[in-house]
Amino acid sequence: MIWEQANGAYLKASLDWLAARLTALAPQPAIPPASAAEPSKRWRRARDHSGAPHAGDADARQAAAVAMAELGAPALVQVAERLGLSDFERDVLLLCAAPAIDPGIGELIAAAQGEPDPTFALALRLFDDARWDVLSPERGLRFWRLVEPVGSGAQPLAVVPLRADDRIVDLVRGLNRLDERLTALVGHRPDPARGLALPASSQAVVEALVEAALTDTPDGRFPVIQLLGGDEPSCELVAVRAMALLDREVYHLPVGALMGSDQDLVARLWQRESLLLPMALLIDAVDADPGDPVVATALRRFLSQVGGLVLLSTREVCPVTDRATAVVDVVRPTAAEQAELWAAATGLPVEGAPRTLAGQFRLSVPAIHRIATALRSGFDAPGGRERLWAACRASARPRLEALAQRTVPQARWDDLVLPGEQTDLLRALVAQVRHRATVMSAWGFGERRSRGNGVTALFSGPSGTGKTFAAEVLAHELGQDLYRVDLSAVVDKYIGETEKNLRRVFDAAEDGGALLLFDEADALFGRRSEVRDSHDRYANIEVSYLLQRMEAYEGVAVLATNLRAALDPAFLRRLRFVVDFPLPAREERRRLWSAAFPEGVPLGDLDLDALVDLPVTGAAVQAIALGAAFLAAGAGTPVDTATVLNAARTEFRKLGLPLTVPQYERVGR
């Protein structure tokens, strides 16, 4: 006999026992009316001549429970044991659930007390060992919300109709599934990297999490385990793997969903569910603002109230009152471990594409598994590695739409016009990014550094000398998206908001799929000043935060400025490269003018020597060339020297730059 059948037999025996008790309690007319309807079969069977319930009903109930010994306790008994109900409370629960299971019980209840809905008053008359404290909100029936009053109004609680919770009724029947009021808030989390072995660093986190869960606490409850690191997929993975060792399923609850719900009810229901099902709750507060008092207060209150095994993924430790807590740091795999993961997931040799991917991207184990599974095979086929790179780039693409402008770079080395020294520095920067995994991980330099292994650079020089363009070339060469940080969105007048925005920028870009460009960097990275008032103090705090975050940054970032002297000197020590962009010399200007016009532009007689004499930057050359094209299109003529010089005259006036006499004569007035 399987458990479901045995549970059904026990439930039937329990209902028969209850029917017998109700029948014995109901008054009987001395002489039944001749026109009375035939009593129900259950009623007739439940009463003997003396009006007492059959002993066989109780014996049958006990026999059904004994028969299930090897299969497991009946559902009603399990509920009572796990929720700490007394025998009397268990029988009250059966009484309240019975009408939903067997409508005939309602007739018997109505006969016993005059109305079909059970009450505490009926239960106190009906069962042995009755106790008035069953009405207390601290006792199991009401504390766990197993039964609820229906339309209480001003009536005493003892005579208010009761109904059993639907979830509990289903459970008594043998159907054990999560409460529907929680399914809208929480979601089951399967293993996000099934079949992929964890690296040593992640496995150590799993073991630490299991140890924390099994730690004895003064109140006997599980501690709240806080998973620190800010990477929600990694937190989820170690949580699922650790809970699997404890035979528990993981359910995910975003803190935002918690904020929009009845938190007291959710806490109580989850605590109840954690006793009825082998589960753990993972609360995702990675993106929550710890400085928001509403969020912080609600989260602390919920963690203090909720029972069961609760995990919290967060960036900062959340203070919890009235409950023990444990902190476990969750880190992503090292570059060497990521290379091994890529090799295991793709079947490629470690020293090939896996090492390159590990050096460029900082992806979690679930992300690596997801990408490799989506592409499935063909990594060595033509275009296979390009598809793999594109998938990693898309997966690592940061969520920076509100704080930065994304550009898909198109510029190449051949488009960049710079002196040889600056070009060599840029190529060295690219080489360091590409070989980070080899030098830092395989060769061991990373073990000697406690700070970030990112590659950061300062581009300084006059406006229009190619700083932004060079950043685009680097991004294209590295296969990254270029994100130009929007200072108007990052800088905030409210204290602490600028640092929060900057943290979002750096954290989001650290996966490796983006090159951050801080244009006009002197506005953010300016010198710290003597503190004269609170504004100076908070401005210095912002700069100090940037100094620390730049040093810990793991990605690629470029600071561009026209005013190098305005930057705080402490930044220079933390930057890997400093590239000065000079005004283009005559040779660079010739190269710029030679490439100024696309192939489709009709060109007339162009005197490059005359154009090279103009003291312009690369940006000015592009602006003049565009203006000349519009002039020529309006006149219906090819672009010639006079057209270009006329456009140059307009551009020089716009920029407020003086023209030498020979140039003025060429342009004309």
Chain segment 621-664, per-residue pLDDT in tens: 999 999 999 999 999 999 998 999 889 888 888 877 666 535 54
- Rounded Cα–Cα distance for residues 351 and 441 (Å): 12
- Contact indicator for 92, 127 with CB cutoff of 8 Å: yes
Which band of pLDDT confidence, cut at 50, 70 and 90, is reported for residue 539?
A: low
Instruction: Determine which of 79-88, 387-396, 448-457 has the lowest per-residue pLDDT on average.
Output: 448-457
- Residue with the bigger pLDDT between 74 and 548: it is 74
CB 177 within 8 A of CB 351: no
Q: Are 461 and 617 in contact (CB under 8 A)?
A: no
CA–CA gap between residue 245 and residue 205 (Å, rounded): 13
Instruction: Pick 617 or 490 by higher pLDDT.
Output: 617
Q: What's the rounded mean pLDDT across residues 306-319?
A: 89
CA 72/CA 7 separation, integer angstroms: 9
What are all long-range contacts of 82-87, with beta carbons under 8 Å and residues at least 24 apart? 82/275, 82/276, 83/140, 83/144, 83/146, 83/272, 83/275, 83/276, 84/140, 85/140, 85/141, 86/129, 86/131, 86/140, 87/129
User: In the predicted model, is pLDDT for residue 667 greater than 60?
Assistant: no
Tell me the domain boundaries of the chain: 3-177, 183-329, 335-396, 405-580, 586-667
Three-class secondary structure of residue 406 per DSSP: strand
Give dist(CA 424, CA 666) in Å, integer: 37
User: With bands split at pLDDT 50, 70 and 90, how would you rate the model's confidence at 201?
Assistant: very high
Query: What pLDDT shows up at residue 31?
Result: 46
Whole-number pLDDT of residue 50: 38
Q: Indicate the average pLDDT of the chain.
A: 83
pLDDT at 274 over 90: yes
**Residue-level pLDDT at 231:** 82
3-state secondary structure of 422: helix
Min mean pLDDT across 321-330, 355-364, 438-447, 600-609 is at 438-447
Query: Confidence band (pLDDT; 50, 70, 90) for 436?
Result: confident
Mean pLDDT value across residues 67-75:
81
Tokens of 243: 């809970």
Q: What are phi and psi of 284, to 5 degrees?
A: -95, 105
Instruction: Name the least confident of 19-33, 453-467, 555-569.
Output: 19-33
The more confident residue out of 89 and 58 is 89
Residue 2 has pLDDT above 60, yes or no: yes
For 438-461, the DSSP string reads IIIIISSGGGG--S---EEEEEE-
CB distance 345 to 337 below 8 Å: no
The per-residue pLDDT for 520 is 76
Proportion of the chain above pLDDT 70, given as a percent: 87
> For residue 25, what pLDDT is reported?
84
Confidence of residue 508 (pLDDT cuts 50, 70, 90): confident
| Two tokens, residue 447 | 């073990």
Closest CA to 657 of 610, 623, 609: 623
pLDDT of residue 56: 55
DSSP letter assigned to residue 163: E
Looking at residue 434, what is its pLDDT?
85
- Flag whether pLDDT at 57 surpasses 90: no
Within this chain, domains 183-329 and 586-667 share the same CATH topology: no
**Per-residue pLDDT, 435:** 84
Sheet containing 481-485: which strands, arranged edge to edge? Answer: 404-407, 481-485, 514-518, 556-561, 455-460, 577-580
Residues 6+ apart with CB under 8 A from 567: 458, 521, 522, 525, 526, 527, 559, 561
Longest Cα separation, the chain: 132
The predicted pLDDT at position 16 comes to 92
CATH of domain 586-667: 1.10.8
Rounded mean pLDDT, 88-113: 92
Q: If you write DSSP's letter for every residue of 82-146 in order, what string do you get?
A: HTT--HHHHHHHHHHHHHHH-THHHHHHHHHHSSSS--HHHHHHHSTT--GGGGSTTSHHHHTTS
Mean pLDDT of 601-607: 88
| Cα→Cα distances 251→186, 280, 330, Å | 6, 6, 19
Whole-number pLDDT of residue 525: 63
What's the pLDDT band for 118 if we cut at 50, 70, 90?
Answer: very high
Residue 540 CB-density burial (10 A; 0-12 exposed, 13-18 middle, 19+ buried): middle
In terms of CATH, what superfamily is 405-580?
A: P-loop containing nucleotide triphosphate hydrolases (3.40.50.300)
pTM of the entire structure? Answer: 0.79
Average pLDDT, integer, range 254-264: 85
The larger pLDDT score, comparing residue 248 to residue 535, is at: 248
The backbone torsions φ and ψ at residue 277, rounded to the nearest 5 degrees and listed phi first, read -135, 150
For residue 38, what pLDDT is reported? 44
Topology classification of domain 183-329: Rossmann fold (3.40.50)
Once rounded to an integer, what is the mean pLDDT over residues 491-503? 72
* pLDDT for the residue 395: 83
Determine the 3-state secondary structure of 627 from DSSP: helix
DSSP 222: P
Helices (H), 37-86: 41-46, 55-67, 75-82
Q: Considering only CA atoms, which of 328, 283, 276, 329 is closest in space to residue 304?
A: 283
Query: How far is 124 from 113, CA to CA, in rounded Å?
Result: 12
Residue with more model confidence, 290 or 198: 198
* 664-to-246, 601, 604 alpha-carbon distances in Å: 84, 26, 21
* Band (526; pLDDT cuts 50, 70, 90): low
Return d(Cα 473, Cα 452) in angstroms, integer: 24
Whether pLDDT at 576 is above 80: yes
| pLDDT higher at 122 or 292 | 122
Using the predicted structure, report yes or no on whether residue 1 has a pLDDT greater than 70. Answer: no
* Better-predicted residue by pLDDT, 228 or 378: 228
Q: What is the mean pLDDT of residues 283-306?
A: 84
Q: Residue with structure tokens 């020979």?
A: 662
Q: Average pLDDT of 147-176?
A: 88
Q: In whole angstroms, what is the distance from residue 408 CA to residue 188 CA?
A: 37
Angle between helices 365-375 and 232-245 (to 10 degrees): 90
Query: Bigger pLDDT: 494 or 424?
Result: 424
Residue among 160, 3, 13, 1 nearest 94 (CA): 13
pLDDT at position 668 is 46
Residue 299 banded pLDDT, cuts 50, 70, 90: confident
Residue 521 has pLDDT above 90, yes or no: no
42 pLDDT above the threshold of 50: no
Predicted local distance difference test score (pLDDT) of residue 248: 95
**Which residue is listed with tokens 């650079």?**
457
Mean pLDDT, rounded, for 52-78: 74
* pLDDT band per the 50, 70, 90 thresholds, residue 241: very high
